[in-house]
Amino acid sequence: MPLNHSSQYAELTDEHFQAIGKLTVEWSNIEFLLGELLSRLLVTPAFLARTYTDHMSGAKRQEAIREACEIHRYRYGYKLVSEEQIKQIQIINNQITHLRSTRNKFAHFCWSRSNDEEIFGTNFCGGIPEGSKHRKSFVSFTVTELAEFHKKAYAIVDLLTEAIQNLPEMQEEGLTSKVTKR
């Protein structure tokens, strides 16, 4: 039986559900914007790039962004995207990596209320109860910590939006003539 269904005292409060919902919405924004960022770095129209990025997890999008940044550094010598912009993108990408591990717990752990201020989650991992796998198999968060996590995710959405707006965009309009020269 799922943890939060075991008793009325284990059920998450509306405040817990609201905090988790806010995090989920911001993470969806982050994943969408990672795809947009990748399309700009690859100088591809956003709609066309989605045929590729829609099948990628957030982690895969981040890895592709890392590689694109390296290509802009090594192959293009920052001629298409400035060194300052690439460094900013790398900083944002690293911040997202830290948040992703916490987000994954909300997506994959079973949650229960410890008390009105705290929730507890576990993935019910198998194996012996020692080692790093075991230590990573449970976590607890207070409502205050959830609010802080939301603030960080919200701020990253703003940073990603700004970074994307400052990158060159390949428009779909006129794309055929750009490619075929007709």
How confident is the model over 104-157, as pLDDT tens digits?
A: 888 888 889 889 999 988 887 665 556 565 566 788 999 999 999 999 999 999
Between helix 14-41 and helix 58-74 the angle, nearest 10°, is 30
Q: What is the pLDDT of residue 174?
A: 76
pLDDT tens digits along 46-70 = 888 999 899 999 999 999 999 999 9
CA 143 to chain centre: 21
Reference 121, options 106, 103, 133; nearest CA is 106
CA-CA distance, 111 to 120, in Å (whole number)? 6
For residue 64, give both structure tokens. Answer: 């592709």
What percent of the chain shows pLDDT beyond 90? 62
Reference 145, options 92, 102, 97, 108; nearest CA is 102
Q: Are 150 and 22 in contact (CB under 8 A)?
A: yes
Q: Are 50 and 34 in contact (CB under 8 A)?
A: no
Please tell me which residue, 7 or 61, carries the higher pLDDT value. 61
Reference 30, options 99, 83, 113; nearest CA is 99
pLDDT tens digits along 164-180 = 999 998 888 877 777 78
Would you give the end-to-end CA distance of the chain in angstroms? 64
Identity of residue 65: I
Lowest mean pLDDT among 19-33, 86-100, 111-125: 111-125
Q: Is the pLDDT of residue 41 over 90?
A: yes
Rounded to two decimals, the pTM is 0.86
Q: Are 31 and 55 in contact (CB under 8 A)?
A: no
For residue 177, give both structure tokens. Answer: 């003539």
